[in-house]
Amino acid sequence: MTQLPFPLAEEPDDAARESARKLFAGEVDFLKGVVAMDGLPPDDRTEVCFAGRSNVGKSSLINALTGRKALARASNTPGRTQEINFFTLGEERYLVDLPGYGFANAPVAVVEKWQRLLKQYLSGRASLRRAFVLIDSRHGVKAVDEEIMTLLDRSAVTFQAVLTKSDKIRDKEREKVLDQVREKLSKHPAAYPELVLTSSEKGDGIATLRAIIAGLD
Ligand SMILES: Nc1nc2c(ncn2[C@@H]2O[C@H](COP(=O)(O)OP(=O)(O)OP(=O)(O)O)[C@@H](O)[C@H]2O)c(=O)[nH]1
Ligand SMILES: [Mg+2]
């Protein structure tokens, strides 16, 4: 069988793991919630954002990465994050928690407003170094994910797929979903050629993702 590209990212070596651990154990703060493009902070830091369908686990992943349980507001109600939330990581980086796309428990007009803002942000932010596109490892890539990936292609924003909630899936199903994700990603020129499989609950993949973020300049 031909192996599709997009292998899982390798685990960092001890030195990379340790420096990433230190970065994320250091100063992390909520800076601001942004509701319009003119509210964005100056684009003078290396910025990474977490995009994905409502409820995929974006806010939980930020909490797991930073080891702070309630830094980003996570909840079982899809549509919890309603602003573009900026967190400072050390002196040189921003972590950005985005509102989900897809379904949400909010009035249509409100959802349309975030979706517009989300698309403007993803296509027009000069300092955005990488977008992590979160995919639920039980569900794989959906049509709305592909829409976002196409937008990122057009804006030439490198994006990396992160499969979330790996604790909720059995090995056998996982391989099937991974192949579906690989097949979809292979159509997107802006896709970074490595995947990360994470569990914010159990900690799988968290050190790897920290090292990826710490390694961006
Ligand atoms: N089992 C398991 N549950 C998770 C994991 N990550 C997130 N969840 C749960 O999934 C639900 C949604 O998590 P959030 O982090 O709020 O998701 P989100 O993508 O930020 O959602 P929106 O802000 O609404 O778009 C919560 O009930 C989390 O506890 C994980 O790795 N494993
Ligand atoms: Mg959220």
Segment 34-85, tens digit of pLDDT: 999 999 999 999 999 999 999 999 999 999 999 999 999 888 887 778 899 9
Does residue 1 form part of some domain? no
Number of domains in the chain: 1
Q: Is residue 9 part of a domain?
A: no
- Kindly report the protein residue whose alpha carbon is nearest to atom 1 of ligand 1: 165
Distance from first CA to last CA of the chain, Å, rounded? 37
Q: Report d(CA 44, CA 4) in Å as an integer.
A: 37
> What is the residue with the minimal CA distance to atom 12 of ligand 1?
55
Residue 53, domain member (yes or no): yes
Using a 6 Å cutoff on CB, does residue 102 contact ligand 1?
A: no
4 belongs to a structural domain:
no
Task: Supply the pLDDT for residue 50.
Answer: 98
Asked if 134 and 64 touch (Cβ cutoff 8 Å), the reply is: no
Residue 31 forms part of a structural domain: yes
Eight-class DSSP state of 198? -
Position of tokens 């249509």?
108
Residue 1 has pLDDT above 80, yes or no: no
What tens digit of pLDDT does each residue of 134-161 get? 999 999 999 999 999 999 999 999 999 9
Q: How confident is the model at residue 2 (pLDDT cuts 50, 70, 90)?
A: low
Q: Is residue 2 part of a domain?
A: no
Residue 72 corresponds to which amino acid?
A: A
Look up the domain containing 121 and give its range.
14-214
pLDDT range class, residue 88, cuts 50, 70, 90 = very high
Neighbours of ion ligand 2 (CB under 5 A): 58-59, 80-81
Report yes or no: 141 and 163 within 8 Å, Cβ to Cβ: no
Cβ contacts of residue 54 below 8 Å, gap of 6+? Answer: 78, 79, 80, 99, 100, 101, 102, 103, 104
Contact 143, 180 (CB under 8 A): no
Lowest mean pLDDT, pick from 94-103, 136-145, 206-215: 94-103
CATH number at residue 185: 3.40.50.300
List, for residues 157-207, the tens digit of each pLDDT value. 999 999 999 999 999 999 999 999 999 999 999 999 999 999 999 999 999
**16 torsion bin: left (phi>0), alpha (psi -120 to 50), beta (else):** alpha
With both helix axes pointing from N to C terminus, report the angle between 14-25 and 206-214 in degrees, rounded to the nearest 10: 80
Question: What pLDDT shows up at residue 3?
Answer: 57
Is residue 20 in a domain?
yes
* Contacts of 216 by beta carbon, 8 Å cutoff, 6+ apart: 46, 48, 93, 129, 130
**Residue 153 resides in a domain:** yes
Ligand 1 atom 32 nearest Cα? 165
CA distance 11 to 21: 13
Rounded CA-CA distance 101/84 in Å is 12
Altogether, the residues listed in the chain come to a count of: 217
160 lines ligand 1 (CB under 6 A): no
- Predicted confidence at residue 74, as pLDDT, reads 84
